[in-house]
Amino acid sequence: MGVGRSIAGRDAGEPDRVRPAQRVSDRYSRLARTGTAPETALRKELHRRGRRFRVHARIEGLPRRRADIVFTRWRVAVFVDGCFWHSCPVHGSVPLTNREWWEWKLARTQARDKDTDDQLSALGWRAVHVWEHLSAEVAASTVEKALEAAGAPPSSQAHPSSPH
């Protein structure tokens, strides 16, 4: 889903906005894009369960996008979605300042997520999205279900909900 740029460097259709204060801009520029605490916790839990995967690997045929966790053998791509940036129905919110621009920005993120999922599906991959607010155990169980649906054997560790 390519987005054209206007002469002024803004995306086509991008609403006008007030430039945020430098301190706000600096704060957002320091936010982690990879290796976030929820992502790291999920990777540790999957590893504890005996799952092996690649981190932020490129997927052939999916230009300019990477999944957070990639199971190449089973063609499963996992995305740990942040509640703010991906508009979580439980915790997502739109800032009051520059509201029109933020609504546009967050809608664009959701459209890009859908486009990524569609492209992965066309390539024979399964896309799995887990929210950052989920516990690592719950998120890992969601990933396990997708892996098993893709033909992977059950993990070497018992699921938390299964009897010992």
Residue pLDDT, tens place only, 83-119: 988 999 998 888 888 889 889 999 999 999 999 999 9
Place 5 in a pLDDT band, splitting at 50, 70 and 90: very low
Mean pLDDT of 129-134: 97
Structure-block tokens of residue 121: 């599906």
Half-sphere exposure for 124 (CA within 13 Å, toward CB) = 6
Q: Is the pTM of this model over 0.85?
A: no
The one-letter amino acid code at 13 reads: G
Q: How far apart are the first and last CA of the chain?
A: 47
Using only C-alpha atoms, the chain has a radius of gyration, in whole angstroms, of 18
CA 149, CA 6: separation in Å to the nearest integer?
Answer: 44
> Would you list the domain boundaries of the chain?
42-149
Pick the CATH number of 42-149 from 3.40.960.10, 3.40.50.970, 3.40.1380.10, 3.40.50.150: 3.40.960.10
